[in-house]
Chain A
């Protein structure tokens, strides 16, 4: 469902992403981990067509995001880490707008779908309020609703739990499981080891722009030559952060 071939991105002399190759089949929740500045967000932005790769290709459901952007984006849902929205339109109007952009028929079906999403994400009472009055968590929930509105085949998520309260986070986790069961491919970048461990079948670890490990927990353990059950020590060992301690004293 998602295919990434030899993807590279350079900003001047800085090589942000190097020779990235990945395949994510339908029905899989894939976790994408890495330290700060490793290239996670750059990879995601290339996958959804926000920035152009220096070289390499990204295919979404067989469509090249650079060459057939409209076809690829039609089956794609994207949830960014920072919920920037149009401030002067209401939540419902925003969903109507997204439905128009995706060419969804403007009938009862569409209204029903929008209504269901607003209820599901606990935004029903706020649907007719301007987005400028929404809290961070409400904006994030509205963006998730918008990403799912057109029933995409692929969902790309940058830090899914940022800004969500525990109830919202649990709701999203369950939702992602359900969607994957129905065949959606979910590519998820996160800093939360717990989220990655619980939700993802396979995990990819990127460091300094290179994909240094990819596989199930078992495969990562082999790669790190560790017997540890938890993801955090494996991640630290693979990214070279294991030996770094807190050497300064407070005060």
Chain B
């Protein structure tokens, strides 16, 4: 292995400098991020603790449920790790910018291999490890596990993380020898999106809420028993689960044997990956350097459609819209996220179709309208989440090529407007489809249908302005991967602000809607006091939307104008 750690030194030193640079600067950013991470961590721990306590209380098959849950979680982690290791190893082994520097120096292949493997492992694993820990701690807490459990947990998790890293590296070296690296990355990115969508559908259509319904338990146990067989296969996730289960319940399995399986597989994985690296890495690296030619470069129909749809815009603004749409359609990393979005919409609407309204003790008519009102907020949150992915990064996506805009005779105001209009229309369509179909499934009153459609229509202007404005206030022009843009401080801050915005509108409309609804329900006229309150509430909503639709864009414009690029 030698001194491969030398190769990690620049990254560690860079991290140190970044942390040191932070001293004396505002603590807001790290505090908000740490607070959000801590909140998520605590929430996961408490949620799992509650679920596991519930399982413990279920007679006969509570333990089966808990152990199956563990198998499922570890299998999910393993799949996520495998995918993220493949994508990450493609970057670290073949696409990273510092490879030219390293490979032109007399660095032995072993050092390159171990250095890059360590980087791949760290990039892919830290998040799963961070958010997986509260789950394992919750298991330990609920089942009052001994100290040995925590030692075994560490001993099992280390090879559990190494195995997908070695497999991912093996796989990416093979793939790059067949396809160019950049193409491989696109294909894998697409596959991972499909994988996430399938997982999402699977989980949703399993209807986990049935756990709360005792009538369906018999069939569920049958289902879980059926599921037991595939878990005991030759998967490292099953070995890890087998090593941990004896600490939770009366489950006899040879812990040392399964730990041995995990460690020996991890060792073998590294040896094989290293062997393949020595044999085929340089061929693959050479191939990855070759420029690829474009496949589909002509999009006359798309272009004609966009130009037609934006005929009312100034030609300069239209040029930007056309450029953005083309880039979006050609970048697999961007358009493939639409698949996730489509899955989200289908599951969202599916949820409304399976709502057990008839079993509620409340009158169906009342409940339908209550849910419809809450749905307005939910659709707003979906809108905010989608904007976090597509609208907030719009300015940053100009990347280092932003100099072209800055040195062109187009004002930054027009530039931001083009981004706003490009984002607004798809968002409006999404919002109206969500609200119309969900209300249609709920069979709500015409009043609720109109109110929620109109509210969401104007809310979309606010969310789009917030996304573009905050994207301009916190731009990230020099990220290596576009997916990093929404995960930065600005992206998280945008999500928080847009949630506040949507929440505030729902709160402001709650009282007037309830008052109007109850007056209609009791067949009585509204009093003067009620009318005043209703007008004031809706006026506040209008003012709030107006402010949010204007102020962030102005602030973003000011920030961009003052920014040295």
Residue numbers of A with Cβ under 8 A of B are: 11, 45, 48-52, 69-74, 76, 78, 80, 82, 84-86, 88-90, 93, 96-98, 100-103, 106, 128-130, 132-135
Contact = CB atoms under 8 A, between A and B. Distances in A.
Given A84-B400, A85-B401, A89-B327, A130 B407 contact: no
Contacts, number: 97
A103 B316 contact: yes
Interface stretch (B81-89, B286-294, B534-542): B286-294
B291 A88 contact: no
Nearest to B317: A100
B298 interface: yes
A223 B345 CA distance: 73
A86 B403 CA distance: 11
A91 B466 CA distance: 33
Q: Is the interface of B mostly helix, strand, loop or mixed?
A: helix
A103 B294 contact: no
A102 B408 contact: yes
B297 A90 contact: yes
B35 interface: no
B476 interface: no
6 contacts: A45-B565, A50-B565, A52-B564, A85-B404, A86-B327, A101-B409
A82 B293 CA distance: 22
Contacts of B323: 86, 89, 93, 97
Contact of B318 (A11, A82, A100): A100
B409 A102 contact: yes
Given A71-B409, A129-B297, 8 more contacts: A50-B403, A69-B409, A70-B411, A84-B403, A93-B323, A97-B319, A129-B294, A133-B292
A49 B407 contact: yes
B184 to A, nearest CB: 15
A235 to B, nearest CB: 28
A86 B401 contact: yes
B183 to A, nearest CB: 11
A225 to B, nearest CB: 38
Contact of A78 (B320, B407, B410): B407
Max chain A Cβ within 10 angstroms of own Cβ: one of B327, B331, B406: B406
Interface string B392-434: 0000000111011111111100000000000000000000000
Contacts of A101: 316, 319-320, 405, 408-410
B316 A100 contact: yes
Given A70-B409, A70-B411, A93-B326, A133 B401 contact: no
B182 to A, nearest CB: 8
Nearest to A70: B409
Contacts of B254: none
A112 B57 CA distance: 79
A207 B311 CA distance: 51
A73 B407 CA distance: 6
Interface in B536-565: 561-562, 564-565
Contacts of B399: 84, 86
A130 B326 contact: no
B278 interface: no
B562 to A, nearest CB: 7
Contact of B406 (A49, A93, A103): A49
A14 B149 CA distance: 57
A82 B565 CA distance: 13
A93 B405 CA distance: 15
B403 A90 contact: no
A22 to B, nearest CB: 19
B307 to A, nearest CB: 10
A50 B564 contact: yes
Contacts of B401: 84-86
B288 to A, nearest CB: 14
A45 B405 CA distance: 13
Contacts of B520: none
B108 interface: no
Contacts of A72: 409
Nearest to A138: B291
Contacts of A51: 564-565
B533 interface: no
Nearest to A73: B409
Contacts of A78: 403, 407
A70 B399 CA distance: 22
B291 A135 contact: yes
